[in-house]
Amino acid sequence: MVPMTKIDTSVPHSARIWNYWLGGKDNYPVDEAAGNAYTAVFPGIVTVARGSRAFLGRSIRYLVEEAGVRQFLDVGTGLPTVDNTHEVAQRLAPESRIVYVDNDPLVLAHARALLTSTPEGVTAYEDLSLYAPDSILEAAGRTLDLDRPTALILSGILGHVDGYDRARDLVQALLSGLPAGSYLSINDGSRGTDPAYEAAQDAYNETGAVPYFLRPVTQIEGYFDGLDLVDPGIVSVPLWRPTKDTATPTPIGQHGGLGRKV
């Protein structure tokens, strides 16, 4: 168990505020207040958070069913919610192996809920930072066979990296440890869709929380340079392979897609 002293309840935290918008209970009054201040300016953030999780689920389904991937490295996992990466993957392929990585003490405290693997597969949790890609690869290699194709999942985390070039370098560093045939799944907040979104994000970034930078879609596309994009490419996430029973998908300021390492 993580000592409560490591959990800072005086400033909002990304994982907790995201949990609040997703309808979860693992958050503190400071997160609820910041979440409500955000929705007062941009109510659409709740749709963005849910659209991002829905994309994550569809992309895992594609990776398992269409691409045959059985290994997942999910960095910036977030607090457990419905349909976590291992649940979607192992429902379809029980032998799937998943390594979760996050650096938030509350996520660590809840990690047990992420470690409910099928007997055939495995899930592991590593308390590490995205800023230490070599350590992530070393730790992942204890659970995954990194000579076999692996999906790197970066869902709603790259916006936390201050500096686009740095974020790109971190993506490249992680991908460099994975073999050809591996996949990159990214979805991240995008700039240029709604001024209210940008205003709410700018205000959030002043709260003392780790800031999150909305990026132009061209920069999100840039994370995939050198990879083969899976159709339909990098799009607003509700438009990425919507299921047949989805109502007409409406674009939101969250862009992403899948690329394959060649």
Ligand X SMILES: C[S@@+](CC[C@H](N)C(=O)[O-])C[C@H]1O[C@@H](n2cnc3c(N)ncnc32)[C@H](O)[C@@H]1O
- Which residues bind to ligand X, rule: CB under 6 A? 14-15, 18, 52-53, 56, 76-78, 102-104, 107, 129-131, 155-157, 160
Nearer to ligand X, 108 or 148 (CB): 108
Closest distance of CB 104 from ligand X, Å = 3
Q: Which residue is nearest to ligand X (CB)?
A: 78
Nearer to ligand X, 120 or 162 (CB): 162
Beta strands in the chain (DSSP E): 71-75, 97-102, 122-127, 151-155, 183-191, 215-216, 227-229, 235-236, 254-261
Closest distance of CB 90 from ligand X, Å = 17
CA 139 – CA 129 distance, rounded (Å): 12
Closest distance of CB 53 from ligand X, Å = 5
The candidate with the shortest Cα–Cα distance to 237, out of 80, 48, 66, is 48
The candidate with the shortest Cα–Cα distance to 215, out of 167, 249, 155, 183, is 167
CA 94 – CA 147 distance, rounded (Å): 20
Nearer to ligand X, 18 or 204 (CB): 18
Q: How far is CA 97 from CA 18, 65, 143, 149, 151, in A?
A: 25, 15, 7, 12, 11
Q: Which two tokens stand for residue 77?
A: 């996992």
Closest distance of CB 232 from ligand X, Å = 20
Nearer to ligand X, 31 or 104 (CB): 104
The CA angle 113-257-24, to the nearest 5 degrees, is: 30
The candidate with the shortest Cα–Cα distance to 63, out of 179, 152, 125, 195, is 152
Closest distance of CB 84 from ligand X, Å = 9
Closest distance of CB 136 from ligand X, Å = 9
Nearer to ligand X, 4 or 82 (CB): 82
Nearer to ligand X, 181 or 211 (CB): 211
